[in-house]
Structure 1
Amino acid sequence: MEANEYIESGILELYVYGLLTEKENLEIAELAKNNTEVDQEIISIEKAIVALSSSFSPFHSVANFEKIKARLELKHGKVVELKPVSNRSQYVGWAAAVLLLLGLGYQTLELTKTKDAIATVGSEKNKAERNFAYLQQQNKQTEKSLSIVRDIKNTGVTLGGQTVSPTSFAKVYWNKETKTTYIDAAGLPTPPKGMVYQVWSLKLSPVLTPTSIGLLDNFEGNSQKIFAVSQTDSAEAFGITLEPAGGSLTPTMEQLYTLGKV
Structure 2
Amino acid sequence: MNIEEYIASGKLELYVAGVLSKEENLQIHNDAEQHPELKKEIEAIEASILALSKSASPKLDSNMFTAIKRRLNLEDNTKVVQLPKQKSGWATYTGWAAAVVLSAGMLWMYNQNKDLESKIEVVSQEKIDLESKIDNANNSLIETQDLLNTIRDKNIDVVALGGQAVSPESYAKAYWNKKEQKVFIDAKGLPEPPDGFVYQVWSLKLNPLTPTSLGLLEDFKGDENKIFALANANNSEAFGITLEPAGGSESPTLEQLYTLGVAASS
Q: How far is the alpha carbon of 1:179 from its aligned partner?
A: 2.7
**d(CA) in 1 for partners of 2:139 and 2:164?**
34
Offset from partner CA, 1:41-63 (integer Å, 9 cap, x none): xxxxxxxxxxxxxxxxxxxxxxx
**Length-normalised TM-score, structure 1:** 0.61
Change in 2 beyond 3 A, CA 1:247/1:90: closer
Answering whether residue 142 of structure 2 is matched by residue 140 of structure 1, we say yes
**d(CA) in 1 for partners of 2:132 and 2:114?**
27
Aligned residues: 180
**Contact 2:151 2:175 (8 Å CA) reproduced:** yes
Matching residue's letter, 1:252? T
**Length-normalised TM-score, structure 2:** 0.60
Structure-to-structure mapping, 1:80-99, within 5 angstroms: 84=86, 89-99=91-101
Q: Which residue of 1 aligns with 2:181?
A: 179
Matching residue's letter, 2:235? S
**Counterpart secondary structure, 1:117:** helix
**Counterpart secondary structure, 2:170:** strand
Q: Which residue of 1 aligns with 2:243?
A: 242
Q: 1:161 aligns with which of 163, 167, 175?
A: 163
Structure-to-structure mapping, 1:1-262, within 5 angstroms: 84=86, 89-205=91-207, 207-262=208-263
Coordinate RMSD, CA, aligned: 2.4
**Contact 2:203 2:234 (8 Å CA) reproduced:** no
Q: How far is the alpha carbon of 1:162 from its aligned partner?
A: 0.9
Structure ID, larger Rg: 2
Matching residue's letter, 2:234? D
Q: How far is the alpha carbon of 1:217 from its aligned partner?
A: 2.2
Unaligned regions of 5+ residues in structure 2, if any? 1-83
Q: How far is the alpha carbon of 1:86 from its aligned partner?
A: 6.2
Matching residue's letter, 2:169? T
**d(CA) in 2 for partners of 1:157 and 1:147?**
17
**Contact 1:142 1:224 (8 Å CA) reproduced:** no
**Counterpart secondary structure, 2:169:** strand
**Counterpart secondary structure, 1:165:** coil
